[in-house]
Amino acid sequence: MDAHNSRRSRSRFVGELGVAAALAATSQPALAETFNGAQPPQTIKRNPLDAYPRPPFPEQSQPWPGLANRMQPRPDHGEASYRGSNRLAGRRALITGGDSGMGRAAAIAFAREGADVAFGYLPAEESDAREVVQLIRAAGRRALPLPGDIRTEAFCRGLVERTVSGLGGIDILVNNAARQQSRDSILQLSSEDFDATFKTNVYAMFWLSKAAIPHMQPGSAIVNTASVQAYAPSENLLDYAQTKAAIVAFTKSLAKQLAKQGIRVNAVAPGPIWTPLQVSGGQPTSKLPTFGEETPYGRPGQPAELASIYVELASAESSYSTGQVYGASGGSGNP
């Protein structure tokens, strides 16, 4: 490595440390302390029972779609803990819902694994999105923020076109953005609500995949975000659970279609994860203080705990995995 490249690499690493530490200081003090210590976080054994915050949580609510930076406790997306190992070097990814939750965790991890990242989000989520841009660039990768609403086919096509234009292609598509609104009864579920949930969770996945596939080469990957709701639906998430079951079927069917092209399609099925989805109408406010308490771990998962799954499914190491659904639910009955 020549002197110029050596200085540039050191600069990128130092920048990544600075951004991660700054964000961690406001959200996960324990992680920030570990991250700045002598021993890398990945070498430390952590008891999963108490590795992250446990209920009870403060009562809180936000207008939809919600912001991670206003949640208490603030979710951990791996800002301070995720360390890459060049598994996605040179890849170009598009992630929907990349401002927070699993999408943000994937964006951070992908960048630290060497990928350039474009991500979609709603304009109301701009403050979260700015943090993600900063984190991606601190990792030395290109960040392409793309605000807008994925409930129209034209916008979804535009997301792919702008990714291909801005990053020079697309190798990874993560269909992650979702709408979840709790309704106690089918009688409270309007046709407008039902339509909005299906447009966000199912139609957009179809439109984005259809637009991205012609640009993908053998070795590319599509990763969809399903849910434990596909297998154990809650009574108050009638429309959301249906969309997640559809995502599982879509994943398995499309994987068979694309196998001969060398494009893999898999899904992640999280259990209860601490994201803005929950505090902005996704759960009844009365249930938030005990959210995740019913799992064998007695707590919800954090987005950071799923980041490595998205990386694995996007990387060449998973070349024999397609049409699979990977569960991450703290022991609560996922596949």
Active site residue ranges: 240
Distances, alpha carbon 301 to alpha carbons 205, 272, 274, 326, in Å: 24, 6, 6, 15
CA 36 from centroid of its chain's CA atoms: 25
Residue 272, C-beta contacts closer than 8 angstroms, at least 6 positions apart? 228, 278, 291, 292, 294, 295, 300, 301, 329, 330, 332
Burial class (CB in 10 A: 0-12, 13-18, 19+), 119: buried
Q: Residues 160, 215: contact at Cβ < 8 Å?
A: yes
Q: Residues 96, 177: contact at Cβ < 8 Å?
A: yes
Alpha helix segments (H runs only) across 213-270: 238-258
Residue keyed to tokens 């447009």: 199
Q: How far apart are the first and last CA of the chain?
A: 45
Q: Which residues sit opposite 335 in a β-bridge?
A: none
CA proximity to 93, closest of 176, 201, 210:
176
Q: What is the DSSP letter of 267?
A: E
Q: Residues 145, 133: contact at Cβ < 8 Å?
A: yes
